Amino acid sequence: MTVVTAERITTADQAVRIATELAEVFAAGAVERDHARRLPHEELDQLSASGLLAITVPAEFGGADLPPSVVAEVVRILAAADPNIAQVPHSHFVYLNLLRLAGTRAQRSDYFGKVLAGARIANAQSERGGATVADISTVLRLDHDTTVADAESSQDDATGDAVSARIEGRRFVVEGTKYYCTGSLFADVLAVLTKLDDPQGVSGLEPGEYVAFVPALEPGVRIVDDWDALGQRTTGSGTVEFAAVKVGREQLVSRASAVNAPTGYGAFAQLLHAAIDAGIARGALEAAAEFVRTRSRPWFEAEVANAADDPLVVQRFGELAVAVAAAESTLIVAGAAVDAAVRPTAVADRAVAQDGHSDAPGDGAQASIAVATAKILADRAANEVSAAIFEVGGTRSAAAEHRLDHFWRNARTHTLHDPVRWKYQHIGRAVLHNRPPPLHGVI
C-alpha cells in the first residue's frame, strides 16, 4: 500500500485550503512533467498524505463525509494547476461512492479504512474489443478449485447455514484486459469492471456486472505503462491485464443498485469530469493573460505600447473570461444539485421505472441534467480558451520553448471521455418531454 501518513480533513474550508496550497506546488512543475512525461509519483504521495483523497469517507467510518460539491471544487482547483494530477483520483472518488451505495458494511469498513490510511483506488473499466464502450468482456467466474471443493463438501452438509457460508467463502477468477486505466500506475487497489460468467447459475451471485476490488500487486495482474495520448500524458492511463486473478466474494460489489436507480452515481462521476475541464479552462485563461501581459507585442494598427492594451485583445479576453465564468458557475449549480440527489432523504425516496429510466423527474434526474449542462459549458470553455492562447498571444506564443500547447492537448484529450452531443439530447428531451435521463452511469 502507498506508504504515507495521511492527515485527517474534517471541514470543507480545510479541504479547499489544502487543495489550494497543493495546487500552487503542483503548478510549478506541471509543464516540465508534461514535456518529459515524468509521472507524478511524489506529487500523488503528497496528495494522499494531505487527506484529500479521504474527504468522502462517511463520518461513521471516520471520514469528513464532504458533499460532491466540495469534491468538485477540490478537483477544479487541482486541475487549474495540473489536470493530470486532478484526473488520477477521479475513479478513486467514483468507486468510493460505489462502496457507499452498494458495498456491505464489512466492505465499506475495510476499504474506507485503507483510504483513510492513504491508499489509492484506480479504475480498470474500459475495453476496446466490443461494439461500444458499454460492452464488457472481462469475465468473473467461479474458481474451478472452489467449485470442486463445494461439490465435495455439499455431500456432508447441506444445511442452509452451511450453504450460505460456502457461497460467502467461494473464490472467483477475473480474466480479461482493460485499457485507459487512469491512475493504475499509482494505485494500491484496482476497481475492475467484470461481467459474471455463470451460465449454470451455480455461483450464488445474481447475473450482471460486478466491480472486483483487486490489489494492484496481486498475482496475475500486469499493469502496462503504454499510455501515449497527445494530452493528459502523466495520468498513468495504460493497459491492465488480468490472468486468472483470484478474488473472494468479499472483494465483489454489484453495480446494479448504484447504476440502475437514480442514486446520483453517474451525476457525481460526470460532475468531477466537468470540474477537470473547468479547471483546465481557468488555468489556460490565467496563462494566456500572463503571456500577453509579459511577452506579447501589440499589433501595429492598435497604436498602443502594450499588447494588453489592444482593444481587440481586451475584447477577446472578456469573451474568454465569460466562458470560463459560465463553466465555473454552472459547475457550482450542478454540485448543489448532486448534493441534493445524494442527501439521505433523497436516497430514501428513490424508485425505478420498468423501462430503465428514473420515474418522475426527482433529485437524481435533476442532478444529471444540471451536470450535463455544466459538462457542456466546461468542455466548450476548456477547448476554446486553450486554443485561444495562441490567438491572443501572437506568433511567439507558438514557440515550442513556451510549451503553451499542453493546455489544449490536455483539454482535447480529456473532453473526449464522453461526447457532449449526447448531453444536449438528454437536456432537450427533459425540456420538451419531461423525460428523465437514462440510468447508465454516464449522465
For residue range 412-432, list pLDDT tens digits in order. 999 999 999 999 999 999 999
DSSP line for 28-92: HHHHHHHHHT---HHHHHHHHHHTGGGTTS-GGGTS----HHHHHHHHHHHHHH-HHHHHTTHHH
For residue 147, pLDDT over 60 is answered with no
Give the per-residue pLDDT at 215. 98
- Compute the average pLDDT of residues 192-220: 97
Give residue-wise pLDDT tens across range 332-346: 999 999 999 998 655
For residue 330, pLDDT over 50 is answered with yes
For residue 146, pLDDT over 70 is answered with no
Q: Please identify which residue in the block is written with the cell numbers 453517474.
A: 266
Lowest-pLDDT range of 3-12, 20-29, 165-174: 165-174
Whether this model's pTM surpasses 0.75: yes
d(CA 293, CA 291): 5
For residue 360, pLDDT over 80 is answered with no
φ, ψ of residue 140 in degrees (nearest 5): -120, 120
User: What mean pLDDT is reported for the chain?
Assistant: 92
For residue 174, pLDDT over 80 is answered with yes
d(CA 334, CA 328): 10
Give the per-residue pLDDT at 345. 53
Instruction: Tell me which amino acid residue 165 is.
Output: A
C-alpha cell at 423: 448531453
Q: Which helix (H) or strand (E) holds 282?
A: helix 265-294
Instruction: Tell me which amino acid residue 60 is.
Output: E
Give the per-residue pLDDT at 67. 98
d(CA 266, CA 269): 5
